[in-house]
């Protein structure tokens, strides 16, 4: 079991990415799941991994920023991932990025009947 940090194209070999992001592999030595997570719920869906050594930050490897509560509201957000890019398709090998508009909760409830599934 291992974690690769700093890589955005999982479809290439290390020697094909010269001049691009420098990926670093770390071994997972411990996995800690949130004690209140119950599949398939989206609540408490988080896991911590203890790695075999300290992570060295770089241009491509940075800590995640968590909301401190004192950030001004922004009407847009950015989502990234290697998920599917078309219905029924395969996940992407290259990290994808999309800009999203944030809607008020009452509109989401009306449009998607939040809590009905």
Asked if residues 6 and 58 have their Cβ atoms less than 8 Å apart, the reply is yes
Q: Cis check for the bond before 40: say yes or no (omega within 30 of 0).
A: yes
**Would you kindly state where each structural domain of the chain is located, as residue ranges?**
2-112
Residues 35-74 have pLDDT tens digits of 999 988 888 988 999 999 999 998 888 888 877 777 777 8
Separation of alpha carbons 33 and 35, rounded Å: 6
First to last CA, the chain: 34
Q: What is the pTM of this model?
A: 0.56
2-112: CATH topology is: Thrombin, subunit H (2.40.10)
CA atoms within 13 A on the CB side of 19: 0
């Amino acid at each position: 079991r291992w974690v690769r940090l700093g890589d955005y194209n999982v479809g290439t070999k290390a020697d094909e990415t010269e001049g691009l992001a420098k990926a670093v592999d770390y071994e997972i030595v411990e996995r800690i799941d949130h004690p209140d997570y119950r599949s398939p719920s989206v609540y408490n869906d988080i896991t911590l991994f203890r790695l075999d050594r300290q992570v060295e930050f770089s241009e491509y490897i940075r800590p995640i920023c968590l909301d401190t509560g004192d950030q001004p509201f922004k009407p847009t957000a950015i989502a990234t991932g290697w998920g599917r890019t078309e219905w029924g398709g395969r996940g992407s090998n290259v990290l994808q990025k999309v800009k999203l508009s944030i809607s008020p909760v009452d509109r989401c409830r009306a449009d998607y009947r939040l809590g009905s599934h």
